[in-house]
Amino acid sequence: MALSDKPTPPRHIAIIMDGNGRWAKKRGLPRTAGHAAGAEAFRRIANYCRTLGVEYLTVYAFSTENWKRSADEVAGIMKLLRRYLEEALRDMEKNRVRFCFFGDLSRLSPELQALCDRAARQSEDYDVQVNFCLNYGGREEIVQAARRFAQDVQAGVHKPEELSEELLSTYLYSAEVPDPELIIRPSGEMRISNFLLWQSAYSEYVFMNVLWPDFSPSDLDQAIEEYHRRNRRFGGV
């Protein structure tokens, strides 16, 4: 199908990149090989989203719960992330993608924190935006937002009765980013895993049986087509 014949994509797509470990196990490979294949899938889909005209892509890269995995696996994921950011910084002027990071980055290594900060600063004038959820948890994000609002109340910036959904949203990691219209979870799992709990109030979920490393542009096309078949009523009739 020609690009002009494809349905208009949502403005903001979010993806739970799941299935790397199972992909590797099926092939008798270490889990780190699955994460490497998953990183290539991310590159493939991010480039395709840009081609389609998607304005925002948010990906669940590393959750607050992922620290429970083995030290070797966590180290492998961080090594892949560092390599990706180094390559992205090198090619930033060519790709012109804005990098943002959702999550508590303080637990990452100083080197990785510096790379995240550099990527965000150097890309801030670009239009297409990729949001990486790193050391991220949806509940933790809401708690942190509430704490920051409480601190502003103590400082006299706000009064408690001023709190609204709109105001609390400004304290989230995703402040100024529109909520995702479509959230995709590959791998066959049918749960949201603490991802974008506040922002997904009216998102459409599409669950797919393909493992993330095998996720292709045609899979994304199928998810977008399914999204367009939905009747989004936002609580109305």
Distances (CA, A) of 24 to 21, 212, 224: 5, 11, 27
In sequence order, what E strands does the chain have?
A: 12-16, 56-63, 97-102, 128-136, 182-185, 204-207
Question: Among positive and negative, which fits the CA dihedral 209, 212, 213, 214?
Answer: positive
Distances (CA, A) of 153 to 51, 157, 208: 44, 6, 44
Query: CA dihedral defined by 46, 134, 201, 226, rounded to 10 degrees?
Result: 30
The answer to whether residue 131 is catalytic is no
How far, in Å, CA of 175 to CA of 181, rounded?
Answer: 16
Q: Which residue of the set 66, 104, 214, 221 is catalytic?
A: 66
The answer to whether residue 18 is catalytic is yes
Q: Which residue of the set 5, 18, 104, 179 is catalytic?
A: 18
How far, in Å, CA of 49 to CA of 52, rounded?
Answer: 5
Catalytic residue positions, numbered: 18, 66
